[in-house]
Structure 1
């Protein structure tokens, strides 16, 4: 089923701003004093340990989000890995937990605003919810633009705050401060310390919420892991250094009862600033932190109903994309749910109950990595691979279980209630409407049981949406592809396979019959129909070789069957597919993921408007290749005596000073194709095909402009 796509508008700093903004709010501006009451001065160590403990889940989410960059993040990942029942639990639970966290953040924002302006907190929070909801409807780019401003203000003020605080601490008698403020370091031993670690751990939970907007991230393979890594490093630094300063400058007894410890500590060491400048800066930082959490929360939370509606788990109207390119109904539903909780409940207490559910999701995300890898789905192609697999995922699951037990009975009961409701909803509303299973069925398939073929198709679609990686040699493969421009209208598919195999056998120094047999076997399994009257037949070989491609243009009237006939019958042409383009691809089994990305990108190029018209009207082999190339990275140049290119005549290719990393891939001389080598000497009349980066090709185009003069 086709769905409306969200635009890819978000870059690295957008990802950083969303992840960072989702972490800073009550965890820093309200929680430190409460946490210190349990463990004492060691509270800053608890924040550090909690930051380290979130790393397994961060690595897991970074891998999963780069493999499956789709709206819904946690929900989508759990659904596709563990199946739709667990996906429903993850979807409803993630949506509810993030709505509560965001509502709680806006309560905190209202509380800090009331320091200077006497206003009722709940109505202020409701107004802020509506304002951020409207901004989210306007557009993701506009939402993250505000997010970047808020996070920039927060980080800037916190950097100044920490610098001033550390200067104050270390300019005093450090050993005296340590003796007075940090003794005893633990007031309730290991029990109190680990209970505090569990309490503050959820301060970092917002880090993973960036996965819910992964579909809108440009170059997710790079931007998601880097954005998360930079964000967690920033958060650990600010949390640990900031709480260390609070412990150092505040009276221990007062600190443990203080609900605004950041402001109180700031007053202690920023008194040199005129008037109330110090406290104003802290309030600005707090408001920015709470606002960024609320803003990012609405943006991330709204993608859960969007993704669930796409999968028929809730009403399809939630999946509608508005004229601004945002899921309007899903955003409105999220805003109304937040307002309901703000008006009807004590949000602070209910938000705490959701912490255990966050930890359950963390455990499931770590399990999802194991399931996806062990499923052996070839199309599972993450741009980031979690280190130390599977031990780091096992550690993440064990830690989640331990910390859940630290959250208390009420939090565990809340998690059970949400889970039972979600499972009940699935069987009441969605059971029988959906026909898919998770990757876990691929794991059982290895034990002789069934697997979900639909997931492989969906993952291929994701590969296509993600596009190529920088290291993929797509341009080189297409630019150097051999071309069969077949004029014979009475040819069989077996004849085409033989012609293509002859070319591959020469280029790869492989046995022709081996290639023919493998292409025939691949045909029996079904070619990949790319649409637009084109198909691809592809194989992978055990040899370590560079990918090679053969392009075939077929006469207009021929019909070639792509399934259901014996390809060994040389007289059979079939009458199923009216094909004009056939593409053969051979690559090494050692690079299976790259092989699949090349196929996915071919599909993207062939889906382009007017592809088949351009293919039919191409005048020569070079034009056929150009149709499949990204125009800005490819150019054909003819060497002539009467223009600038005459400087190339008589030179070896290895002697040429081509712009940047550009490369000559094909040389056509006297109508014959030659594979260029470093010692190939260029001659007058040679036609060369050059690929390279966009800026390099722009420089080469100057040669063609000269040709036209």
Structure 2
């Protein structure tokens, strides 16, 4: 049953999480740090890799798909920001759904996020490898994961500082890439504002679900709520600022790709931005795109690793994952065991996975996660609300529609992994019930 809620917590919260086995995480992130983490999460592999499969699904409806993905992200962002102000601790929607909807919805949210985003981490690392050393993607990707884990282990301020630098590099490189692409030949941009677009409504919705992969880092800072100064004020501001900036960047890049490569060219390309630049008159700009792709994916890798490890920490605190993972380093104040275990799993996925498969699988898990975020925020009382309830109604309906229209293989894989998590929790609860019965006897 959902827990009954008392008055909203004040912005000042205790330094030790109530269910933590030791010290809590340290509140070291300011607004600019949080924005950098959120923006770094969104300007990752998506801006370089997601447009191809999305254009193949949507056809001329690509821009409409981008708008739909942005709308779903806005709904999720307002829900996450509102909930983070009420529950300023690590874990994001895992905590929110557990508090407001019950233990099982919380577990589904947390499990979907950890599994889906582990796949995203592999996609980010493989994108780093593909652009940094074509032909030797996997060794470089493995090295990128190892470096990200090492930085994360040393403290969240190092993660935020690296994210700020990488975001600046990415924005500069994207600016050069857009200018270079516009020096080449142009094509007409199809904007289907009315009627059914060429890819059909199903294809448009499927593409929106795939593009949501690119936006899904908007609430990364909410999963790190225990490390943000003045979270009731900082988290909502950082979530909305980073989402707004990322949406503008994605819209500009999408328009440029359609204006230079067209729908067919974008759909056929595994690196559409690089192809658009190659068709222009600045041949040297190809190297800039490569640098930008490496920096973007590395920044997202850093920020996302922090988010997944914090959700793992929250689940371990409640016993939904092995409690050993709830350890917090006494000096660096990071969930060091969770960082290491998540890093090890990502290394394994990198060794056998591919980028395009990871995008669909990740989108399935993360859409379920934000469906539960919207449901959690939907029932908040007026005193806790910061945004219209209608946004959460739209978010629930949109997340449901997008997850059902993802490629069938992605939906099936997501459902199978979800069932594995449910089975794990059922076995754990049964084992605990037997131990309790034995103790009473």
Q: Same fold (TM over 0.5)?
A: yes
The structure with more helix, counted as a fraction of residues? 2
Which runs of 5 or more structure 2 residues have no equivalent in the other structure? 1-17, 434-441
Q: Deviation of residue 430 (structure 1)?
A: 4.2
Whether the aligned pair in 2 keeps the contact of 1:54 and 1:204 (CA below 8 Å) is: yes
Given that 1:97 and 1:351 are in contact with CA atoms closer than 8 Å, whether structure 2 keeps it comes out as no
Q: 1:251 and 1:347, CA in 2 relative to 1: closer, same or farther beyond 3 A?
A: closer
Q: Give the deviation of 1:346 after TM superposition.
A: 4.1
CA contact (8 A) 1:46 1:196 kept: yes
How far residue 338 of structure 1 moved from its aligned partner, in angstroms, is 0.5
Shift, 1:361, TM fit: 1.3
Q: 1:76 aligns with which of 95, 102, 122?
A: 95
Larger Rg: 1 or 2? Answer: 1
Preserved contact between residue 47 and residue 200 of structure 1 (Cα < 8 Å): yes
Other-structure match for 2:323 = 316
Whether contact under 8 Å (1:41, 1:181) holds in the other structure is no
The residue aligned with 1:157 is 173
Task: Verify: 1:137 aligned to 2:144, yes or no.
Answer: no
Take 2:338 and 2:289, find their aligned partners in 1: how far apart are those partners? 34
Q: Is the 8 A contact 2:93 2:370 kept in 1?
A: no
Residue 154 (structure 1) shift: 0.8
Q: CA RMSD in A?
A: 2.4
- Look up the match of 2:274: 263
Structure 1: distance between partners of 2:408 and 2:344: 29
Cα shift at 1:97: 1.0
Q: Measure the CA separation in 2 of the matches of 1:160 and 1:303.
A: 35
Considering Cα pairs closer than 8 Å and 6+ residues apart, tell me whether 1 or 2 has the greater RCO.
2
What is the alpha-carbon distance in structure 2 between the residues aligned to residue 251 and residue 87 of structure 1? Answer: 42
Task: Kindly indicate whether the alpha-carbon contact (under 8 Å) linking 1:99 and 1:338 is maintained by their aligned counterparts in 2.
Answer: yes
What residue in structure 1 maps to residue 396 of structure 2? Answer: 397
2:216 to 205, 229, 235: 205
How many Å apart are 1:387 and its aligned residue?
1.8
Query: Does structure 2 retain, via aligned residues, the 8 Å contact 1:214–1:220?
Result: yes
Instruction: Label 1:2 to 1:27 Cα distance change in 2 as closer, same or farther (>3 A).
Output: closer
Counterpart of 2:33? 14
1:82 touches 1:371 (CA, 8 Å); kept in 2? no
In 1: Cα distance, 2:415 partner to 2:47 partner: 28
The question of whether the paired residues in 2 share the 8 Å contact of 1:137 and 1:328 is answered with yes
Deviates more, 1:411-420 or 1:102-111: 411-420
Contact 2:65 2:205 in 1 (8 A): yes
- Tell me the equivalent position of 1:410: 409
Distance (whole Å) between structure 2 residues aligned to residue 370 and residue 343 of structure 1: 40
**Relative to 1, partners in 2 of residues 1:144 and 1:191: Cα closer, same or farther, differing over 3 Å?**
same
User: Given that residues 126 and 354 in structure 2 are in contact (C-alpha distance below 8 angstroms), is that contact kept between their aligned partners in structure 1?
Assistant: no
What residue number does 1:235 align with? 246
Q: Residues 589-637 of structure 1, C-alpha deviation per residue, up to 9 Å, x if partnerless?
A: xxxxxxxxxxxxxxxxxxxxxxxxxxxxxxxxxxxxxxxxxxxxxxxxx
Matched position secondary structure for 1:122: helix
Deviates more, 1:150-159 or 1:250-259: 250-259
Partner of 2:387: 387
**Contact 1:64 1:369 (C-alpha < 8 Å) held by counterparts:** yes
Asked if structure 2 preserves the Cα contact closer than 8 Å seen for 1:312 and 1:430, the reply is no
- Pick aligned residue for 1:102 from 108, 121, 142: 121
Unaligned stretches of 5+ residues in structure 1 = 375-380, 435-709
CA contact (8 A) 2:45 2:293 kept: no
Deviation at 1:393, TM superposition (A): 1.2
Are the equivalent residues in 2 in contact too, given 1:89–1:418 (CA < 8 A)?
A: no
Residue pair 2:43, 2:214 contacting (<8 A) in 1 also: yes
Contact kept in structure 1, 2:180 and 2:285, CA below 8 Å: no
Say which structure is richer in strand: 1
